[in-house]
C-alpha cells in the first residue's frame, strides 16, 4: 500500500478483516507500506498491520512477493504509481478520483488495457457503491421495480471546512487534489447515481464557488495561502436513458457531517438513501394500495441483502469501514476468477470526464457541456 493516512487506515482495516468474513480462495498478506516519512511510515505500518515500511513506492513494485499495489495517495501521484505498477505486472487498486486530469486518466486506462492482456487487473475505489443499501437500490432498479427512471437527485453534504481558520490542507490545493469538493465528494455521487441507475451522464451545466479564498497554511499560524479549488459544486445533467439529474457537492453544509444522499424517481416507484443512516433504504412502490402507499423503510441487514450475510445477525448494523472490506473482497474475487473488477479504470475515466465537463461549464458561464464518449467500460455495475 502507498500512503497511510485516512484512506490508508480504512484500506488497511479492509485487508486485515476481509478473509475473516468472506470465503475467499486466497487470503491477502499485508507485505509492505510505503510513505515518504520513514518514522511516520514505520509507526503506521506497525499500527495498521503491515510487515515492513518503505520510503519509496518504487521499491514496492520491484518486490516479487507483492502482487497487488493499493494506492491511497493524493490524486497528483495516482497516474505515475498505477502505470508503473501495472507495467510491473501488479494488480492495482487506486483510490478515487482516478486522476487529477482526463489526460492522466486516459494514460491509466491505456496501461490497464495493456496489463489486462497479461491477466493483470485494475480497479478504482468507489466504496459507497459497496454500501449494502446502495447495492440493493441498484438491484431494485435493475429488476425494474422503479420502472422508467425519470429523476435522480444526488447530494454530498459536509461541513468540515466551514471555519475559515481551518488550515490549507492538501485537499484544498489544485496541484495535489485536482479539484475541491467536486472531485473529492462530487465524484462519489456521480458514481453512485450512475451505478444505481445503470446509466451514464451525457452532459452537464454547472456552477462552482469558493467561499473562503485564503486560509492559514498550518494551524495556529498567521501565514495564509490561496485556496485554488472549489468549495462547492452544483450541476444538472441528463442520463443516457433520458432521466433528468441534479447534483450538489459542498463542504459548507453546516451541520451535515457525511451526508451522501440519492433519490431516484421512476414511473413505478422510488428509492431514497442517506449515508448518515447507511443501513436504511427507503422504497416507494406505486402499485401499493393508495391508503397505505408511500415510502417505507427497509433495514438492510438481512442475510439476503447484498454483502450483509457475511457479517452479523439481522438488525446488527454495519459501518463505514465495512464498505472497504466489501471492496477488497470484490477485488480479490475478480483476480481469482480472472475477470475485470468494477469499477474499472475506464469507469474512473468516464467520471473524470464528467468532472472536467463540470469545471468547463462553470468556468464558461454555465453552458451545457456534453460528456465525451470513447473508451468507456462495458458495465456500470459491480460484483457482490
339 phi/psi in degrees, rounded to 5: -125, 165
Q: What is the DSSP letter of 331?
A: H
CA distances from 120 to 48, 85, 117, 240, 326 (A): 26, 10, 7, 30, 20
| CA 16/CA 265 separation, integer angstroms | 39
Contact yes or no for 112/89 (Cβ under 8 A): no
> pLDDT tens for residues 235-272?
999 999 999 999 999 999 999 999 999 999 999 999 99
| CA 91/CA 339 separation, integer angstroms | 12
Average pLDDT, consecutive stretches of 10 residues, N- to C-terminus, the chain (384 residues): 96 97 95 96 97 97 97 97 98 97 97 98 98 98 98 98 94 94 97 98 98 89 92 98 98 98 98 98 96 96 98 98 98 97 98 98 93 62 39
**C-alpha 137 chain-centroid distance:** 17
| Average pLDDT, rounded, for the chain | 95
Superfamily of chain region 6-127: NAD(P)-binding Rossmann-like Domain (3.40.50.720)
Helix (H) / strand (E) element for 59: namely: helix 57-61
| CA 221/CA 224 separation, integer angstroms | 8
- Angle of the 6-21 helix axis to the 320-337 helix axis, nearest 10: 60
pTM beyond 0.85, yes or no: yes
Using a 10 angstrom Cβ sphere, with 0-12 exposed, 13-18 middle and 19 or more buried, the burial of residue 62 is exposed
Domain residue ranges of the chain, discontinuous segments joined by + = 6-127, 129-320+345-370
Using a 10 angstrom Cβ sphere, with 0-12 exposed, 13-18 middle and 19 or more buried, the burial of residue 357 is buried
| CA 335/CA 380 separation, integer angstroms | 18
CATH architecture of the region 129-320+345-370: 2-Layer Sandwich (3.30)
Amino acid at each position: 500500500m502507498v500512503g497511510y493516512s485516512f484512506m490508508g487506515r480504512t484500506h488497511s482495516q479492509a485487508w486485515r478483516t476481509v478473509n475473516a468474513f468472506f470465503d475467499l480462495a486466497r487470503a491477502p498478506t499485508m507485505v509492505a507500506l510505503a510513505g515518504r516519512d520513514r518514522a511516520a511510515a514505520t509507526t503506521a505500518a506497525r499500527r495498521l498491520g503491515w510487515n515492513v515500511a518503505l520510503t519509496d513506492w518504487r521499491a514496492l513494485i520491484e518486490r516479487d512477493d507483492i502482487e497487488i499495489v493499493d494506492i491511497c495517495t493524493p490524486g497528483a501521484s495516482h497516474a505515475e504509481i498505477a502505470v508503473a505498477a501495472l507495467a510491473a505486472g501488479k494488480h492495482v487498486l487506486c483510490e478515487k478520483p482516478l486522476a487529477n486530469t482526463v489526460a492522466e486518466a486516459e494514460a491509466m486506462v491505456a496501461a490497464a488495457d495493456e496489463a489486462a492482456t497479461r491477466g493483470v487487473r485494475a480497479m478504482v475505489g468507489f466504496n459507497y457503491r459497496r454500501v449494502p443499501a446502495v447495492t440493493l437500490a441498484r438491484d431494485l432498479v435493475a429488476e425494474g421495480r422503479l420502472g422508467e427512471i425519470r429523476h435522480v437527485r444526488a447530494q454530498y453534504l459536509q461541513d468540515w471546512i466551514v471555519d475559515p481558520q481551518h488550515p490549507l490542507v492538501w485537499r484544498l490545493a489544485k496541484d495535489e487534489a485536482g479539484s475541491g469538493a467536486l472531485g473529492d465528494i462530487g465524484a462519489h455521487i456521480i458514481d453512485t447515481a450512475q451505478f444505481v441507475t445503470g446509466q451514464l451522464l451525457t452532459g452537464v451545466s454547472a456552477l462552482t464557488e469558493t467561499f473562503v479564498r485564503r486560509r492559514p497554511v498550518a494551524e495556529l499560524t498567521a501565514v495564509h495561502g490561496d485556496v485554488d479549488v472549489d468549495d462547492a459544486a452544483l450541476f444538472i445533467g441528463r442520463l443516457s436513458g433520458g432521466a433528468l439529474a441534479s447534483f450538489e457537492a459542498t463542504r459548507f453544509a453546516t451541520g451535515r457531517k457525511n451526508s451522501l444522499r440519492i433519490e431516484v424517481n421512476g414511473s413505478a416507484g422510488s428509492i431514497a438513501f442517506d449515508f448518515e443512516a447507511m443501513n436504511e433504504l427507503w422504497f416507494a412502490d406505486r402499485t401499493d394500495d393508495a391508503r397505505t402507499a408511500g415510502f417505507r423503510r427497509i433495514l438492510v441487514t438481512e442475510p439476503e441483502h447484498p454483502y450483509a450475510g457475511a457479517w452479523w445477525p439481522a438488525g446488527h448494523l454495519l459501518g463505514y469501514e465495512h464498505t472497504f472490506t466489501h471492496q477488497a473482497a470484490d477485488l480479490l474475487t475478480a483476480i481469482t476468477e480472472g475477470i475485470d473488477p468494477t469499477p474499472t479504470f475506464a469507469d474512473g475515466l468516464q467520471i473524470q470526464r464528467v468532472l472536467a465537463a463540470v469545471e468547463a461549464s462553470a468556468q464558461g458561464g454555465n453552458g451545457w457541456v456534453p460528456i465525451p464518449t470513447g473508451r468507456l467500460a462495458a458495465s456500470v455495475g459491480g460484483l457482490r
